[in-house]
Amino acid sequence: MTMWKPDLTRFGGHPAEALAEAIADAIASGALPPGTRMPTHRELAYELGLAVATVSKAYSIVARRNLVSGEVGRGTFVASGPRMPALADPEAEAANTIDLRICMPPAVGQDVVLAAAIEDVVRAGGARAMLRYPLPGGSPQQRGAAVTWLERLFPQTNASEVLLTSGAHQAIAVAIATVVGTGNVMLCDPLTYAGTAQLANVMGIILRAVPVDEHGMIPAALEEAIARHSPKALFIVPTFQNPMAFTIPQSRREELTAVAQRHNIMIIEDSVYADILDAPPKPFAALDPDRTVLLTSMSKSVCVALRVGMIRLPRALVAQAENILQSLVLANPPLMAEVAANLITTGRADDLRHKVLAEVEARFRIARTALGNIPFIGGAQCPHLWVPLADQNQMSEVSSGLARQGYWVASGRDFAIAREHVPAGVRIALGATAHRHKIAELCQALRQHISAPVPAMSGVV
């Protein structure tokens, strides 16, 4: 087999970053399929006329983005299956970069409030809960607190229908194991939370995308996809969708529910971003409670590392879901559920949520001003913005151009569940930095990249 040899002139900039982008581009286009063994650093350096250190640097950039993995003594391989975007690099804030790739609430003093809640829990004898195995879905008191938290999203919730999970990610795992099952199809948006694709991959669930417009999934396209794929369920993030930031309007929610009812498929409704709102839009769960599994967490509205999520199921599915949760994890550590219950019942969680919301609103105004006339999707209370781009080429150019300057954003590629029909755009996570001015700086750089004039033709055709 001839060795893969990229054309670096398409990417420009520092050779290591250009090579990293060329590798990412080849993986996204399928030129380097999953499992491919990459050339050694030395071979590629020789082929491209680069220093070995430059190739090593490029490989470490793509490894940090989880695009390849190294196996000592065996070489470097293109990662197989869908990939989670790299999680926040703790050094990134300190270094000369601005990394707005991870959706998380901005820091508004969560550490101090959490410390106080942990102390309260321990002082009240919370450590006694460590003496025996906890109930898999949380104690009755913890479930009661979860019902209080869910009040804004779905007021009809009853504690007997709710399980606590370790974040929304685990809630998604439980939901898809309960209503989809190995070997079956689940429909979702063409770009969606990368963790859902990751879970589907490890659980043997087939994901198929349904086209979206600016209001979310298109009902006629959903009909067509159901006819073609006979899915068991639909996974949907109806408010502040990740990554495309749209919110499905009420009438579209009703139309999509009607399609699901006609074809008797379940709806998995992920509300992690609605969780920040005082008055979220009416959920799918309210339109058809027996068909909808509603899940959320406190990750995006309070604090990502609390790792407390909640899942509300139709009553007939609760025992099965509880059994699945127990099979997966036996039981989650009770301490954080206890801390979450304390935060909720004392009102401290709501205080933090309000502070997070106010900070998101302030950052939104900064981003809107800095983006100027560049169109984007996302509203004043949405913790991320989606900037649509013309096509895949522009998406590659903009994200690699930004990365060369030390600005990191997530791009459509990071969320695509299939290689075809990837909506082009980049996502800016407003909470990912401790410094508001960095939002302005990155948005101004993005604006410059997007409005840069097309280079004049050289006259050579």
Ligand X SMILES: Cc1ncc(COP(=O)(O)O)c(C=O)c1O
Which residues bind to ligand X, rule: CB under 6 A?
103, 167-169, 193, 195, 237, 242, 270, 272, 297, 299, 304, 309
Q: Shortest approach of ligand X to residue 313 CB, angstroms?
A: 17
Considering the complex, what minimum distance in angstroms separates the CB of residue 296 from ligand X?
A: 8
Q: Which two tokens stand for residue 92?
A: 């990134």
Which single residue is written with the structure tokens 């080429």?
393
How is the chain split among helix, strand and coil, in percent rounded to 5? 45, 15, 40
Minimum gap (Å) between residue 390 Cβ and ligand X:
25
Closest distance to ligand X from the beta carbon of 205 (Å) = 16
Shortest Cβ distance from residue 335 to ligand X (Å)? 17
- Kindly tell me which of 36 and 192 has the beta carbon lying closer to ligand X: 192
Nearer to ligand X, 121 or 311 (CB): 311
Residues 284/258, Cβ–Cβ less than 8 Å: no
CB of 162 to ligand X, least distance (A): 15
> Which of residues 78 and 266 has its CB atom nearest to ligand X in the complex?
266
Which residue, 334 or 401, has its beta carbon nearer to ligand X? Answer: 334
> Which residue is at the shortest CB distance from ligand X?
167
- Least CB distance to ligand X at residue 168 (A): 3
- Residue 23 or 410 with smaller CB distance to ligand X: 410
Residue 306: CB minimum distance to ligand X, A: 9
